Amino acid sequence: MIEIRFHGRGGQGAVTSAELVATAAIDDGKYAQGFPSFGPERRGAPVAAFVRVDDKPIRLREKVYEPNISIVLDPSILSIVNVAAGLKEGGVILINSNKSASELRSRYGLKAKLGIVDATTVAKETLGIPVTNTTMLGALIRATGIVSLESIYRALEHRFGPLAARNIKALDRAYKETTLED
């Protein structure tokens, strides 16, 4: 089973991202869950959303404590949330940042394998707004191949209708621009 934890701020689309990955995984013939962690969150407050994907039915019904992948939609989260908490050995942290891996490691003490994309710039230039959720899905697929591009495109088309084309463009650009450590 692959477990993913999204870190963002309320209103940035972490919950939507989790739902889109789960929908795409099901479209690919896998089993999946996508769900948020709700509490007293409000727009701008730190939030988390979770995804599980497996080839067999998933019986677990709790939030993800030990993810394979941790995704950071907003780099300011790195200062207030331990995004590496519980990360499984060999896990990956995907970060929306214009900083290098060495800068991020030095500043935040990150030890896991990193994937980095300047999703904010991609979103602003492609979508016209700095909402990075679908952009970071490009980084996720590049790093893991957890779902096919075709299935995520269908999920975006279903969710966003006429706005899907711009979101697909942002996802594709982030897919190409994501740098991954070996």
Q: Nearest to residue 39, comparing CAs of 22, 60, 63, 58?
A: 63
Q: What is the DSSP letter of 177?
A: H
Bridge partners (DSSP) of residue 36 are 49
pTM, rounded to two decimals: 0.94
Tokens encoding 138: 């490009």
Give residue-wise pLDDT tens across range 117-148.
999 999 999 999 999 999 999 999 999 999 99
Label residue 21 left, alpha or beta by phi (over 0 means left) and psi (-120 to 50 means alpha).
alpha
Listed in sequence order, the residues at least 6 apart from 144 whose beta carbon sits closer than 8 Å to its beta carbon are: 2, 69, 92
Residue 45 pLDDT: 81
Residue 1 pLDDT: 97
Report phi then psi at 2, rounded to 5: -105, 130
Residue 11 pLDDT: 83
Residue 10 pLDDT: 86
* Low-confidence stretches of the chain (pLDDT beneath 70): 38-42, 182
Residue 115 pLDDT: 98
Domain spans of the chain?
A: 2-180
Residue 39 pLDDT: 58
What class, spelled out in words, does domain 2-180 have in CATH?
A: alpha beta
**Which residue blocks in the chain are alpha helix, DSSP H?**
14-27, 101-108, 119-127, 133-144, 149-160, 164-177
Residue 176 pLDDT: 98
